[in-house]
Amino acid sequence: YRSAGRSRGRRELSRDFVGAKPCFCGDGAGAARPRPARRFPDHTGAAVNARPHFLELTMALPAACPLCKASRETQRVVTSHVYGDRAGRAFFRCDACSAIYLFPRLSPGEERALYTAEFESFMISRSGDAGGWAQPERHIAANQTTVARRMNYLRPVLPAKGRILEIGCSSGFMLYPLIADGYECAGVEPSGVFGDYVRSRNVPCFESVEALLADPGNQPGFDVVMHFFVLEHTAEAAAFLETQLKLLKPGGVLIIEIPNAADALVTVYDIPAFERFYWSVAHQWYFTETSLKFLLDRLGAPYEILRDQRYDLSNHMGWARDGKPGGMGRYTDKIGGEIEEAYKQALIKSGHCDTLVGIVRKR
């Protein structure tokens, strides 16, 4: 499937997001009929309206879901707007397990190039200077509110002491406060710039989990393995999590933070600019609560899923008004912090929050 545009007289194909039958719109003679809106199922399975997207049949379909192996007939196009892609990829959703995935997948060479040489510049193109991706010190400073937010759910599950491994530790901004609290910490970070910086602060940091396992001083036996916005970047999500369970001691905790594909900006509001921004070539997966439960069930370990909301009402108003990222806190002094917090809590309660946290305990 490839984006077909909106030119009159072109025979276009639109698939309802949850429907099985294609619907051809336009009679080839210049007269356009009303086109059905694509519908996106939320975390409850109910469908909500989303921006129509029209595709022409030129891209290969996946043979099966890469997670549950359900057949081609159960795979649906979500969007062919893939930010940063130049190879005609699209995102598909599996009706059987609800996983959303990139197809065709990134090759191993493309993955290496993205994460070892290009990731910081890619993130700068998405978030500008606000994320601090240009420099490790700026990245640490830009993420202090993130540290505070995460500590709200980390503190209750962290042991009093022990070994903590963060996979995808970037600048190490989550590790430094934990080290200050007395934990023994290590990181995995493929980015040369950030990895070198973490090592310069005398924190063990490895380019990959394989490199960590090859080091005699960092064998399995961690009390906590955690990663934040990493799972969606991995080619084999189930195998990735299974490997991490093996790194834990019995009774250890695996902590996962991911974007929620039931985010209100995706499933409730009709903001074309956000749709073009959200679906990123750097993400091989997007999960909702339903698909995350399917994935975690496969691990055979007890778990819980928490909801969280990172972005505020000001940010959402900015997307609606300006069609671009940013805007955090822009209107807080006008509308009040109570309104901002009430909005976040409403999204969390409804399941249309932007973040999910999985907490898995190894038996």
φ and ψ of 281, to 5 deg: -65, -20
Q: How crowded is residue 334: how many other Cβ atoms within 10 Å of its Cβ?
A: 8
Task: Kindly give the residue spans of alpha helices, DSSP state H, lying in the chain.
Answer: 108-113, 119-127, 136-142, 144-154, 175-180, 192-200, 209-213, 237-247, 264-267, 272-278, 289-297, 313-322, 332-335, 337-350
For the chain, count helices (H), then strands (E). 14, 17
Q: What is the residue range of 333's domain? A: 108-361
Over the stretch 260-293, which tens digit does the pLDDT of each residue have? Answer: 999 999 999 989 999 999 999 999 999 999 999 9
Confidence of residue 4 (pLDDT cuts 50, 70, 90): very low
By the 8 A CB rule, do 27 and 17 touch? Answer: no
Q: Cβ-count burial of 255 within 10 angstroms (0-12 exposed, 13-18 middle, 19+ buried)?
A: buried
Q: How crowded is residue 354: how many other Cβ atoms within 10 Å of its Cβ?
A: 22
By the 8 A CB rule, do 355 and 310 touch? Answer: yes
Domain count for the chain, please give it. Answer: 1
Confidence of residue 167 (pLDDT cuts 50, 70, 90): very high
Q: Decide which of 348 and 42 is more confident.
A: 348
- Look at residue 22 and tell me if it is in a domain: no
Q: Residue 51: which of 20, 17, 84 has the closest Cα?
A: 17
- As a whole number, mean pLDDT of residues 74-90 equals 90
Furthest-apart CA pair in the chain: how many Å?
72
| pLDDT at 340 (0 to 100) | 96
Q: What is the CA radius of gyration of the chain?
A: 21
- Look at residue 88 and tell me if it is in a domain: no
In the predicted structure, residue 321 carries a pLDDT above the cut 60: yes
Q: Which two tokens stand for residue 68?
A: 């549950």
| Range in 8-22, 176-190, 337-351 the model is least confident about | 8-22
- Look at residue 156 and tell me if it is in a domain: yes
- Look at residue 300 and tell me if it is in a domain: yes
Give every CB contact of residue 345 below 8 A, 6+ residues apart in sequence.
309
Confidence of residue 36 (pLDDT cuts 50, 70, 90): very low
Q: How crowded is residue 180: how many other Cβ atoms within 10 Å of its Cβ?
A: 8
Q: What is the CATH number of the domain that holds 310?
A: 3.40.50.150
Arithmetic mean of pLDDT over the chain: 83
Over the stretch 103-159, which tens digit does the pLDDT of each residue have? Answer: 999 888 887 777 665 555 544 554 555 555 568 999 999 999 999 999 999 999 999
- Look at residue 82 and tell me if it is in a domain: no
Percent of the chain's residues with pLDDT above 70: 78
- Look at residue 302 and tell me if it is in a domain: yes
| pLDDT at 231 (0 to 100) | 97
- Look at residue 3 and tell me if it is in a domain: no
Percent of the chain's residues with pLDDT above 90: 67
- DSSP single-letter state for residue 338: H
- Look at residue 228 and tell me if it is in a domain: yes
| pLDDT at 117 (0 to 100) | 56
By the 8 A CB rule, do 26 and 10 touch? Answer: yes
φ and ψ of 86, to 5 deg: -125, 15
Q: Residue 271: which of 341, 340, 327 has the closest Cα?
A: 327
Give every CB contact of residue 282 below 8 A, 6+ residues apart in sequence.
84, 114, 119, 122, 233
φ and ψ of 74, to 5 deg: -100, 10
